[in-house]
Amino acid sequence: MTNTIRLALVLAVSVVALPHAQTTTAAPSATKRHVEMLAGDALEGRLAGSPGEKLAADYLVKELQRIGAKPLPASTDFQMPFDFTAGSKDGGSTITVTREGGAPKAFATRAEVQALSFSDNGEISGPIVFAGYGLVVPDSQNFGYDSYQGLDVKDKIVLVLRYFPEDADQQTRATLARYSDLRYKAQAARQRGAKALVVVTGPRSPNAGEVVPMSFDTALAGSGLVAASASGAVANAIFAATPDKTLEAVQKELDGGNPHVAGFAIPALTVTVKAAVERQRQTGHNVIAYLPATTPTDAIKKPWVVIGAHYDHLGRGSAGGSLATKEQAGQIHHGADDNASGTSAVLAIAETLATQPRKRNLIVAFWSAEELGLIGSNAFVTNPPVPTTEMAAYLNFDMVGRSSDNKLTVQATGTSAIWPKMLEQANIAAGFDLTLQEDPYQPTDVGSFNQASVACLAFFTGAHADYHKPSDTADKINYEDLDRIVTFASGITRRLLDLDDAPSFTKVDQKTESGGGRAGLRIFTGTIPDYATEVKGLLLGGVIGGGPAEQAGLQKGDVIVEIAGQSIANIYDYTYALELLKIGQPAKVIYLRNGERRETTLTPAARK
């Protein structure tokens, strides 16, 4: 599972290590061998695009061949590659400082200048304005702090300090810290017409004078601004043009947190910022096979059923999402429950059904790059090998290995009227203490299929203390119950393969939205961003039924480029722009539909 929501879940449940039912079973477990293989050290935590992911994919292909599954029609291979942004590195950024009548001073080493990971590639030359910490607290916070007050930065380069005032009282620091993210500072600069942003770590701050290391960033598009971090030496060369001021003295004045300490233009100086970011594209691999119908009939509607699980995990946690303790940092994140358990369940269900007759085709899918934002399953539904309208249902298995007290949760049951009764009937034999949740807006691959209007279910045994930590290991899996889940879900899948009528899809109205940053906690717009596609603006993967975005007439495929006067270059801009919205107050939205520029009004609601 992706981190956003589960983290909250982990924090919300009391994390007591529950004893597992480890009684000896007569038959050997159908899933244990797979979990031990996938969660083993050799696979290095199965990070999407890594050698460990390839080893896992190879294992899955062998298992699929063993049970007699076939590559999809029109395909000769089980592995379906897709590209994604795995990180960024500097591609040769430079800063040149030229005083009027003086010789240019060039800085070009990585210790002196580095592009910020979200920078546009480009070169900007012009005057530079010092804007303090570059912090802007939205009016909605009633706090009154704007580093740009009284400054004209239009078409200029802005120089700001990293972090936030060092000596301010705790309350002030807590407020300003929320707006000190460099993306937020970049957006504030761009909204005021700046052409470039230079960030320096002040002499009074931690990491004084050091450049900001290029961070892991899965953003596909730049932020619409040239942005770089510079060393103390670069800052000193710039401040040399203001003989009455030093950076340290100016920082000291700002560090009290007084909002009236003003920035200033630096006279008689031309600065050239060239930012070069190499976004590292990587290839992930979905592993997809199918079991063809044994008794196909033309009469059957929607002749495909899909079962799936993501098989990628966090590697050693370097790509984000890790909840490792300090002592565990850098260790292999085994991902036995997340999601060797679901992967094993899908293999075992496929093996069970392979020898049984069926009217529909069964697609057996293993997704990669789920942990980076549902990228694999999104790639699949965006370019489906068979039309999604031909898919009768999708069943997802993510974290199904930690059942305790006989509990099993099935989510997304609101996506079809058929589910509650079908689950109830299947559970007569299975006997789980079953919890049904209608909500399909889950931080797991079921979200991709719900957006594609496929009736779906997600099986889940709950969050636990080892979630996204190296300690999510194979020995902690409750195999007995995992195998019972396989039996239960095999029965449901069998019924779906043979039903004459396909389940009809129901769009679930939703009062909360998944994902979202700081503003997501407060404001509800009902938009579902598409994280996987490269586009300038915010591409909507869908809208939440009954939500403000749907009421505003927005729909899947629309690209939001401006909201409430804030231009939107990417998902981060959007998250920040939400902070400026007021609940119940209509905001103008400019968006592109099929390339055509349109306008509507969206009224944000309060998050429930």
Residues forming contacts to Zn ion in the complex (CB under 5 A) are 1, 338, 371
Nearer to Zn ion, 442 or 527 (CB): 442
CB of 79 to Zn ion, least distance (A): 21
CB of 6 to Zn ion, least distance (A): 7
CB of 370 to Zn ion, least distance (A): 7
Nearer to Zn ion, 195 or 333 (CB): 333
Spell out the residues 6+ positions from residue 537 whose beta carbon is closer than 8 angstroms to its own: 559, 560, 561, 568, 569, 570, 591, 592
Give, as one character, the DSSP assignment of residue 338. I
Nearer to Zn ion, 166 or 371 (CB): 371
Nearer to Zn ion, 9 or 592 (CB): 9
CB of 562 to Zn ion, least distance (A): 34
275, amino acid identity? A
Spell out the residues 6+ positions from residue 373 whose beta carbon is closer than 8 angstroms to its own: 2, 218, 531, 532
**Distance (Å, whole) CA 47 – CA 287:** 15
Tokens 């968006």 sit on residue:
591
Question: Within a 10 A sphere around the Cβ of 124, how many other Cβ atoms?
Answer: 21
CB of 315 to Zn ion, least distance (A): 12
Helix (H, G, I), strand (E, B) or coil at 394: strand
**Distance (Å, whole) CA 266 – CA 236:** 12
CB of 192 to Zn ion, least distance (A): 39
Nearer to Zn ion, 35 or 157 (CB): 35
Tokens 């694999």 sit on residue:
376
Tokens of 510: 């939703």
CB of 308 to Zn ion, least distance (A): 15
Q: How many whole angstroms from its chain centre is CA 405?
A: 32
Nearer to Zn ion, 146 or 445 (CB): 445
**Distance (Å, whole) CA 383 – CA 392:** 17
- 568 near 602, Cβ under 8 Å? no
Nearer to Zn ion, 320 or 546 (CB): 320
Nearer to Zn ion, 267 or 320 (CB): 320
What CA dihedral angle connects 377, 378, 381 and 383, to 10 degrees? -110
**Distance (Å, whole) CA 599 – CA 588:** 7
Nearer to Zn ion, 338 or 579 (CB): 338
- 63 near 74, Cβ under 8 Å? no
CB of 254 to Zn ion, least distance (A): 40
CB of 12 to Zn ion, least distance (A): 17
Tokens of 90: 């500097």
Spell out the residues 6+ positions from residue 475 whose beta carbon is closer than 8 angstroms to its own: none
Element (H, E) at 226: strand 226-230
CB of 3 to Zn ion, least distance (A): 7
Nearer to Zn ion, 9 or 354 (CB): 9
- 79 near 286, Cβ under 8 Å? yes
Nearer to Zn ion, 120 or 371 (CB): 371
Q: What are phi and psi of 460, to 5 degrees?
A: -160, 130
CB of 371 to Zn ion, least distance (A): 5
Q: How far is CA 446 from CA 306, 308, 394, 454, in A?
A: 11, 9, 8, 9
Q: Angle between the 342-354 and 479-498 helix axes, to the nearest 10 degrees?
A: 50
CB of 516 to Zn ion, least distance (A): 18
Q: How far is CA 400 from CA 158, 288, 450, 479, in A?
A: 50, 20, 20, 10
Nearer to Zn ion, 1 or 577 (CB): 1
Spell out the residues 6+ positions from residue 266 whose beta carbon is closer than 8 angstroms to its own: 127, 128, 129, 130, 159, 238, 239, 241, 242
CB of 338 to Zn ion, least distance (A): 4
Nearer to Zn ion, 1 or 375 (CB): 1
Would you call 355 exposed, middle or buried from its count of C-beta atoms within 10 A (0-12, 13-18, 19+)?
A: exposed
